[in-house]
Chains A and B, each alone.
Chain A
Amino acid sequence: MNRSRVLAAVVAVVLVAGVLWWVGKDDEGSAAVACAPSEIPEHDDTTLVVEGDAWSGYAPFRDPELLQGTEYSLLYVDQVCQGVRHADLTAGRADFAVTTLDQYLLNNPDGTVVGIIDQSVGADALVLGTGNHDELDNIDDIPALVEQFASAGRKPKLAYTANSPSEMLLNELANTAEELTLADFELVPVDQSLTAYEMLEDDDVQLAVVWEPETTAARAAGHTVTLSSADVPHSIVDVIVASDRLIERDPNAVQAVVTAFYTRMDQLLADPAALQAFYATDGQLDPEVAQQLIAGIKLYGTTEAAEYLNTEVFPLDKALMQQSVESIESLLSLVHPEMPLGQAQIDGIYVSNVALRTRQPAAPPPPPPPETPADEEEPET
């Protein structure tokens, strides 16, 4: 064959393949955020590492004295990146992760859900920028806003925190409320709720999805909190995830943490003033702001947590935690088709043990959790 023709054909194939690759590649590009590795100080074997972020619901874990009176101590490590948090759990660098259920399902770590911390019932919300647009003070005003921008050949902007429960809330709301159609907006993913709120304040966006304390701040600034997590119950659930390594190595440590957490929550829930002061101190908030924050979260004590994880609820005859997992997993599978399904591990035995002790204070200690080595002692709680 003529050499020049072969050469031309090869050039053609290479060029066409290159163009195809360029055209076919993902248009959205990589949204990966560079995450710093967790800064975990040196610690001994009895120190349990909990990774989480600044969310108020995780406040009890930030108290270094939570495990006082047990043979363990607690080390809380701030890690805002959910991916790193869950990778640390799988790698054994962290013993526990406190996280939202959707992120647990999405990141699929080698860990088991052993408790529920709280559920957002209004703390996460879609806010309308009434402060800059007087006429925008009701969800029914959204079509008019869209129309107004469309007449200028634009779309109103909506800011939300990417790769966070805000993103999931936005998807949930958009598919639940007729008034909110995402195609009507220019979506602006940001790094955190505060950024979304600041953009709303500066009128860089007309709507924003935020979480506390920005939800309260937005309300105080004259913006309108419209749809919220209260409209889509069981969609933003914070959970305690124990590493499977720890469960296998030292289930008493898991029991110690679960017991200490729910004991603390029971005490706080029984004393509203102490509860308010606790979250105000943790978040360095005014008491009124702390009160509003608490109003937007459903906190769980021992009894309710045990029921959430273990009690089958009519008419689906499954525990609420299982129902939440299935519902969130179904929704996530739409956004992330590659996500493995049916991988969630839930173990309600630890919180059941706490509930049993709460109900029968004089009774002897319950049997240890499964796989407890015979020579280990029950943790002091």
Chain B
Amino acid sequence: MLLRVGIALTLLPVAFFTTAVQLGVARNDDTLRTVARDATEGITVAQAIKLSLSELDELVVRDLLDDTPLGANGYPSNYDQKRSELHDNLVRAAVDSSQGAAYLQPLTNIEYALGHYHTLAKEAFAADARGDHRAAADAYQQANVVMEATLLSEADFIDKANTYVLNEAYDRQQARADSTVGLIGLSWVVLIGFLVLAQLLVARMFRRLINPPLLVATVIAVLAGGFALARLDSSAGHLTAAREQAFDSVQVLARARATVVSARQAQGHLLFDPDRGAESEEQYQLITEELFRVQDGDRAVALAQVSQGANVPDGAGGMLAQAAVAGSDRRDEMARRTVVALGSFLAADRGMRQMLDYRQPDLAIEQYRRGLTFSQLTSTVEEAQAEKQAIFDGHARRAAEATARLDRIALATAAAVLALAGLGLYVRLREYGT
């Protein structure tokens, strides 16, 4: 009777253990899917939209400065190309993003306001083509307001929504991690305890020292539990590294990339419409402070010191400063180089403004057209972004690999333990019968 009950009761700890592991794997995979794929892709798409929008706005002012020839539809060909790129990103966002108001509403608003932007840009191009500089500047000013106040902030909202989902999923995983590990640990101990107890009882009843099938089942259970816990721990560790060490930098550098284009747009706006110089100057200062700022002292001095090898100063803020000191590693060389590149960009900008002060706008426009420091800055930011993205992807991949097939292994283990324990007890049951 006792042996029959023992065989039946074997189901209990085995089912408990298998369920606990399955649950842990499911939770882990769910978080990985959200953090490492859905939300990060959503943020990437949101930033791609923002970058395309910023580039479109910068392109308009550059085309206006260059008197770029217009096509039959009233736009320069490079504008059409950029518009098409933006459209592709919007479609990608609509297809890939999770369904919900937080994602769809800003996309709808962007689509709607973009129509107004195109119209105003076309008016600016048309006025410029007929030599009416004032009308062109006024139309572009309106277009720029639509871009800054509506389009870019709506793109930010998509980023915000995805960031929220990512943080929620990650925080939830962190909060549940202890209970998941505790549950698996408990089920593991219960399973091993049951098998050891069965071994002891069988030994006592039948005066045999060891029941080999039960012993093998116990060994398998010990190895499987340890393996599952180690794999889940490894996966959680990589996820933490991906989120806390790499992702913030990826995101902040993506934001910085679009912001750098906005800074260049503000430069172009100043050159095309000097009558609104004060506004352009204020906008430029605000934008570049979003990239890098210091609390005490002069920003130019701090940037010069960084370019000579100094660390980013304590208390420095802004996107590039944040990327440079992310993870408390002030020797992050790649991210530090973005700060150095920003220093060059700002120095060149000061030179350009001096040319304007000396009434040499043509020289200033020529320097703007060349845009050497701008190109250096954007390529440096992109390199840093790619480097951080690779780190993030590496951690995310290893986090996924750590738990790959763990659920199947747990099931196979359960089947083996169940079969061996059943066999061990059944053999004794038959002996007892004879």
Q: Which residues of A contact B (CB under 8 A)?
A: 2, 4-9, 11-12, 15-16, 19-20, 23-24, 27-28, 138-141, 143-144, 147, 150, 171, 174-176, 178-179, 181-183, 314-317, 326-327, 329-331, 333-335, 337, 341
**Given A16-B15, A144-B314, A334-B165: A178 and B8 interface contact (C-beta under 8 Å):** no
Is there contact, CB below 8 Å, between A330 and B157? yes
> What chain B residues lie within 8 Å of A27 (beta carbons)?
172, 175-176, 179
> What chain B residues lie within 8 Å of A4 (beta carbons)?
1, 4-5, 8
Is there contact, CB below 8 Å, between A326 and B322? no
Name the interface residues of B163-188: CB closer than 8 Å to any CB of A.
163-165, 167-168, 170-172, 174-176, 179-180, 183
Shortest CB-to-CB span from A348 to chain B, Å, is 21
Which listed residue (B11, B16, B23, B100) contacts A333, Cβ 8 A?
A: B100
> What chain B residues lie within 8 Å of A6 (beta carbons)?
8
Shortest CB-to-CB span from A8 to chain B, Å, is 3
Is there contact, CB below 8 Å, between B8 and A9? yes
Bound form: Cα–Cα A147–B244 in Å: 13
> What chain B residues lie within 8 Å of A9 (beta carbons)?
8, 11
Name the interface residues of B70-117: CB closer than 8 Å to any CB of A.
100-102, 105-106, 109, 112-113, 116-117
Bound form: Cα–Cα A9–B48 in Å: 55
10 contacts across the A-B interface (CB closer than 8 A): A8-B5, A11-B12, A19-B16, A19-B20, A140-B295, A141-B315, A174-B167, A182-B171, A183-B167, A330-B157
Closest residue of chain A to B168 (Cβ to Cβ) is A334
Is there contact, CB below 8 Å, between A315 and B11? no
Bound form: Cα–Cα A108–B398 in Å: 44
> What chain B residues lie within 8 Å of A316 (beta carbons)?
109, 112-113, 150
> What chain B residues lie within 8 Å of A147 (beta carbons)?
328
Bound form: Cα–Cα A351–B79 in Å: 44
> What chain A residues lie within 8 Å of B9 (beta carbons)?
8, 11-12
Which listed residue (B4, B106, B167) contacts A5, Cβ 8 A?
A: B4
Binary A-proximity of B244-269 (CB < 8 A = 1, otherwise 0):
10001000100100000000000000
Is there contact, CB below 8 Å, between A140 and B315? yes
- Asked whether B7 is an interface residue with its Cβ less than 8 Å from the other chain, the reply is yes
> What chain B residues lie within 8 Å of A181 (beta carbons)?
167, 248
Is there contact, CB below 8 Å, between B19 and A16? yes
> What chain B residues lie within 8 Å of A176 (beta carbons)?
156, 160
- Asked whether B161 is an interface residue with its Cβ less than 8 Å from the other chain, the reply is yes
Is there contact, CB below 8 Å, between A179 and B175? no
Is there contact, CB below 8 Å, between B150 and A315? yes
> What chain A residues lie within 8 Å of B316 (beta carbons)?
140
Shortest CB-to-CB span from A29 to chain B, Å, is 11
> What chain A residues lie within 8 Å of B11 (beta carbons)?
8-9, 12
Is there contact, CB below 8 Å, between A178 and B23? no
Number of cross-chain contacts by CB at 8 Å: 130
Closest residue of chain B to A233 (Cβ to Cβ) is B153
> What chain A residues lie within 8 Å of B317 (beta carbons)?
138-140, 179
Closest residue of chain A to B8 (Cβ to Cβ) is A8
Bound form: Cα–Cα A5–B180 in Å: 30
> What chain A residues lie within 8 Å of B105 (beta carbons)?
326-327, 329-330
- Asked whether B195 is an interface residue with its Cβ less than 8 Å from the other chain, the reply is no
The majority secondary structure among interface residues of chain B is helix
Shortest CB-to-CB span from B17 to chain A, Å, is 10
> What chain A residues lie within 8 Å of B172 (beta carbons)?
27
Bound form: Cα–Cα A2–B422 in Å: 15
Which listed residue (B7, B16, B164) contacts A334, Cβ 8 A?
A: B164
Shortest CB-to-CB span from B174 to chain A, Å, is 8
Bound form: Cα–Cα A181–B322 in Å: 12
- Asked whether B122 is an interface residue with its Cβ less than 8 Å from the other chain, the reply is no
Is there contact, CB below 8 Å, between B8 and A5? yes
- Asked whether B137 is an interface residue with its Cβ less than 8 Å from the other chain, the reply is no
Closest residue of chain B to A171 (Cβ to Cβ) is B164
Is there contact, CB below 8 Å, between A178 and B322? yes
Is there contact, CB below 8 Å, between A140 and B293? yes
Bound form: Cα–Cα A334–B98 in Å: 11
Is there contact, CB below 8 Å, between A333 and B315? no
- Asked whether B319 is an interface residue with its Cβ less than 8 Å from the other chain, the reply is yes
Bound form: Cα–Cα A6–B4 in Å: 11
Is there contact, CB below 8 Å, between A178 and B319? yes
**Given A141-B315, A147-B328, A181-B248: A329 and B164 interface contact (C-beta under 8 Å):** no
**Given A143-B322, A330-B106: A178 and B315 interface contact (C-beta under 8 Å):** no
Shortest CB-to-CB span from B338 to chain A, Å, is 14
Closest residue of chain A to B317 (Cβ to Cβ) is A140
Closest residue of chain A to B187 (Cβ to Cβ) is A19
Shortest CB-to-CB span from B229 to chain A, Å, is 16
**Given A315-B150, A327-B157, A330-B102: A19 and B8 interface contact (C-beta under 8 Å):** no
Is there contact, CB below 8 Å, between B146 and A315? yes
> What chain B residues lie within 8 Å of A182 (beta carbons)?
167, 171
> What chain B residues lie within 8 Å of A139 (beta carbons)?
317
- Asked whether B420 is an interface residue with its Cβ less than 8 Å from the other chain, the reply is no
- Asked whether B21 is an interface residue with its Cβ less than 8 Å from the other chain, the reply is no
Bound form: Cα–Cα A176–B159 in Å: 9
Shortest CB-to-CB span from A245 to chain B, Å, is 28
> What chain B residues lie within 8 Å of A333 (beta carbons)?
100-102
- Asked whether B49 is an interface residue with its Cβ less than 8 Å from the other chain, the reply is no
> What chain A residues lie within 8 Å of B156 (beta carbons)?
176
Closest residue of chain B to A333 (Cβ to Cβ) is B101
